[in-house]
């Protein structure tokens, strides 16, 4: 399933993570892989403390960073689709 703006995503509960010097270090229990997120990606991870739609995530990020809504949506959709393929986030549903 391709993630769209109305897709609600959540953290995969099997991902272990820790904040280390403004970077998020993560490990997948399921596949034993390690990941490192930069400051913006770490902020996205913190936003996902509760399930959130990609559109709502972009509204928050546009308010916090100097980025246009269109660019944010494009970048976050690509990032969320990659995170979903790596099973770091999970798709809960499409907003009605």
Q: What is the pLDDT of residues 59-81, one digit of tens each?
A: 999 999 999 999 999 999 999 99
Residue 1 located in a structural domain: no
Residue 94 located in a structural domain: no
CA distance 62 to 11: 21
Residue 12 located in a structural domain: yes
Residue 45 located in a structural domain: yes
Q: Is the pLDDT of residue 95 over 60?
A: no
Q: Give the model's pLDDT for residue 80.
A: 96
Residue 95 located in a structural domain: no
- Show the beta-strand stretches assigned E in the chain: 7-11, 15-20, 23-28, 34-37, 52-53, 89-94
Domain span including residue 28? 7-89
Residue 18 located in a structural domain: yes
Q: What is the pLDDT of residues 35-48, one digit of tens each?
A: 999 999 999 999 99
CA distance 8 to 55: 9
What total of structural domains would you count in the chain?
1
pTM, rounded to two decimals: 0.88
Q: Give the model's pLDDT for residue 96.
A: 43
Residue 67 located in a structural domain: yes
Residue 85 located in a structural domain: yes
């Amino acid at each position: 399933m391709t993630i769209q703006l109305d897709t609600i995503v959540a953290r995969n509960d099997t991902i272990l993570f820790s904040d280390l010097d403004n970077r998020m270090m993560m490990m997948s229990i399921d596949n034993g892989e390690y990941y490192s997120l930069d400051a913006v990606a770490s902020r996205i991870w913190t936003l996902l403390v509760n399930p959130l739609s990609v559109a709502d995530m972009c509204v928050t990020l546009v308010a916090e960073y100097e980025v246009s809504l269109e660019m944010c949506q494009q970048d976050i959709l690509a990032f969320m689709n990659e995170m979903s393929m790596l099973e770091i986030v999970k798709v809960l549903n499409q907003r009605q």
